[in-house]
Amino acid sequence: MSNQMNIGSFLMDQEGDNVLLSKYLNLEKVENNLYRSTYQQVNTGGRSVFGGQVIGLGLMAAGDTVESKYHLHSLHCYFLKGGLDQPILFQVEATREGSTYCSRSVKAIQNGLTIFTMQCSFKKPESDSFEHQFKMPDVPKPDELKDRCQLYKDWIDETDPSDEILHGLLQRYKMRAETDTYEVRPVYPQRFRREKGEEPRECLWIRAKLPLGDDPHLNKCVAAYYSDLYLAGVSAFPKPRLLGIYQFLMTSLDHSVWFHHPFRINDWLLYEMESPHTANGRGFGVGRFWSQDGKLVMSVAQESVIRTVKAKL
């Protein structure tokens, strides 16, 4: 008997709005330079708000205070305390107003405590004849690969109904199919199950499922939000995955992003990740986002807490 499940899409709310905009990246403007979140995305299996959402909301707040002629080119942030499932205040301060560059400082506050800080920089477009970049990895195109939900379906269908991992697989598949606002196609599907330790590297194609249009700042906010999804986990790749068991406590410490060229997050981007070093309870990861035509559009660096634990889900 097949273990597969038919799961519908719940990415549009009851009014038919895009949940990325109506929930995950929605802010209420309280007054000048002060904003409040309307919905918090809690980490799966955890208690704190997902760090990528906090980054995205902070960028949405900062962008609202900047003239459209300036474009976001970098951000650097620290996660100071886990966010609770309650509204977060975002306070924006103008730290520089230059002729080419302008900067903003963002604080995320809950119960009077700063839980997150971010510096972000914007600049006017300019061009120069000198440029270079690394070469994009030679990998299969997204239309040649299965998406992550299909890989979970295949795994479920091949699992004996009496196997204790089946419940965990069904939970993961249902959660991904119902709530993910993005589509992911792993470049190395043979490593998806991680039944043995793997080199701490990953490549996957990612894109937003719901239409976001051409607004450059919104596309960058969503891409920065997604950039926090997988990078910390790559640090754990040398250890085999045990379904139904938490092997590590992981949480982001700091996160930096540099935007090199315009892109649309509704188009497929290759997210190339690696973890050059993990020790002493900290994992370091770097990532690169490539467009399908081989252009390096975004770079990421992150340090995260990674502590060995062993507990059932």
* Cβ within 8 Å of residue 279, ≥6 positions away: none
Cβ-based neighbour number of residue 74 at 10 Å:
16
CB 122, CB 101: distance < 8 Å:
yes
> Encoding tokens for residue 99?
């002729």
Task: Write down the catalytic residue from 110, 299, 302, 304.
Answer: 302
Task: Write down the catalytic residue from 252, 275, 299, 304.
Answer: 252
* Cβ within 8 Å of residue 46, ≥6 positions away: none
Query: CA–CA separation, 313 vs 168, rounded Å?
Result: 9
252 carries an active-site annotation: yes
> Encoding tokens for residue 190?
């043979």
Task: Write down the catalytic residue from 227, 228, 291, 304.
Answer: 228
Query: CA–CA separation, 86 vs 40, rounded Å?
Result: 7
157 carries an active-site annotation: no
291 carries an active-site annotation: no
Catalytic positions, written as ranges: 228, 252, 302
